[in-house]
Amino acid sequence: MKISEFTFELPPELIAQTPAERRGDDRLLVIDRRTGAYTDSKMADFPSYVEPGSIVVINDTRVRKARVYGVSQTGGKVEFLFTGAVGPDRWQAMVSKSKKQRPGKSYSFFAQDGSLFCNGCIDSDVDDSDSGSSLKVIKFDRPVDESFFASCGHVPLPPYIKREDDFNDEKRYQTIFANECGSMASPTAGLHFTPETVAQLEAKGCEILHITLHVGMGTFLPVRTENLEDHVMHTESYHVSQEVASKINEAKASGRRIVAVGTTSVRTLESAVNRDTGLLEAKTASTNLFITPGFKFMVVDQMLTNFHTPESTLLVLVSAFAGKDHILAAYRHAVEERYRFFSYGDATFLK
């Protein structure tokens, strides 16, 4: 298949730049993935669409405040987007004006209160063909941990949000389940959940289970090949506990529905399943699974997800789950009805 088959017209003004005034106060387009029929609803009614006794799987990753500004020796301000540690005092980062930032160049990093936190320099260049980006290794003058990002960092909002982050984003770009720090982007389907949503699901006998997948910047990269089979998916790390694997296997055996909240939960579950036995396995591993039409879903029965970018791997994934024609027809309806798209936008429930 060709990536150009997965496109639709999206007016720029429908790309949500801010979250809803209140968490969970979003619209919901319910799509029957077998017939393509869709229903306009709202997230407050989401629990009513979930079958009693279902297992609801959420991603409990926490977004790291990975966008940090350094000040060069000449006083210039340089943006660093840190992607992962390669040692106690070394981290990889995407750097603004990358060609001008050469090995040996040094920077000072300041906390939000203006105090100097640490110094660092570019140690080496990294050719990261997996993400399609040119990375640098930054060597700090002391070991750095999450306190560095908490003190100096900014929320790395997606590139299609055309504004600077603010204090509100520190809470609203995290789900209520956020626990395991390591993501460069939020698992945005989970942003719609409130304690009331959880309580309503549990009142129906549903169980909320946690898995972890740390979202990388590759999730925003465009598909650069026309043929889907030529695209190399970015790699992300995930964890499924033994308790979660056992509960999901028991639920599948008894005919209970598995509802994945977000494409990250889908990729985690379908990566961790043993495709010979059909059993979900407890794992800490990495995945570059690219789900395309024709993929056999072995764990996930239903999916809550946001509206995705034209010609993106995520749009291909939901098309594989619910049918390309069904998804594109529903998306055209969503555009006509002025639904809000992407990270801070509205949601779809594929049932």
Confidence (pLDDT) at 133: 53
Q: Which CATH class is domain 3-63+169-350?
A: alpha beta
Contact between residue 346 and residue 28 where contact means Cβ atoms under 8 Å apart: yes
pTM: 0.94
Confidence (pLDDT) at 128: 56
Mean pLDDT for back-to-back runs of 10 residues, the chain (351 residues): 96 98 98 97 98 98 97 93 94 86 94 96 76 79 96 95 94 97 96 98 98 87 90 93 98 98 98 98 97 98 98 97 98 98 98 97
Task: Return all residues near 62 (Cβ < 8 A) that are at least 6 apart.
Answer: 174, 178, 179, 180, 181, 182, 183
Q: What is the SS3 assignment for 158? A: coil
295: Cα within 13 Å, side-chain hemisphere: 25
Confidence (pLDDT) at 218: 75
Domain boundaries, the chain: 3-63+169-350, 67-154
Contact between residue 42 and residue 235 where contact means Cβ atoms under 8 Å apart: no
Task: Return all residues near 210 (Cβ < 8 A) that are at least 6 apart.
Answer: 57, 58, 59, 60, 177, 179, 241, 244
Please state at what angle helix 263-272 crosses helix 313-322, rounded to 10 degrees: 70
- Whole-angstrom CA distances from 283 to 192, 239, 276, 304 are 27, 6, 16, 23
Contact between residue 33 and residue 119 where contact means Cβ atoms under 8 Å apart: no
Task: Output phi, psi for 21, to 5 deg.
Answer: -55, -40
DSSP labels, 328-346: HHHHHHHHHTT--BSTTS-
Structure tokens at 207: 């169980």
Confidence (pLDDT) at 345: 98
Confidence (pLDDT) at 21: 96
Going by C-alpha positions, the residue among 345, 346, 343 that lies closest to residue 156 is 343
Q: What is the SS3 assignment for 233? A: coil
> Regarding the domain delimited by 67-154, which CATH topology (the fold level of the hierarchy) does it fall under?
Thrombin, subunit H (2.40.10)
Maximal CA-CA distance, the chain: 66
Q: CA 336: distance to chain centroid?
A: 26
DSSP labels, 55-108: EEEEE-EEE---EEEEEETTS-EEEEEEEEEEETTEEEEEETTGGG--TT-EEE
Confidence (pLDDT) at 127: 64
- Whole-angstrom CA distances from 237 to 82, 121, 214, 215, 265 are 16, 27, 6, 8, 12
Task: Return all residues near 246 (Cβ < 8 A) that are at least 6 apart.
Answer: none
CA distance 238 to 267: 9
Say if residue 101 is exposed, middle or buried (CB neighbours under 10 Å; 0-12, 13-18, 19+): buried
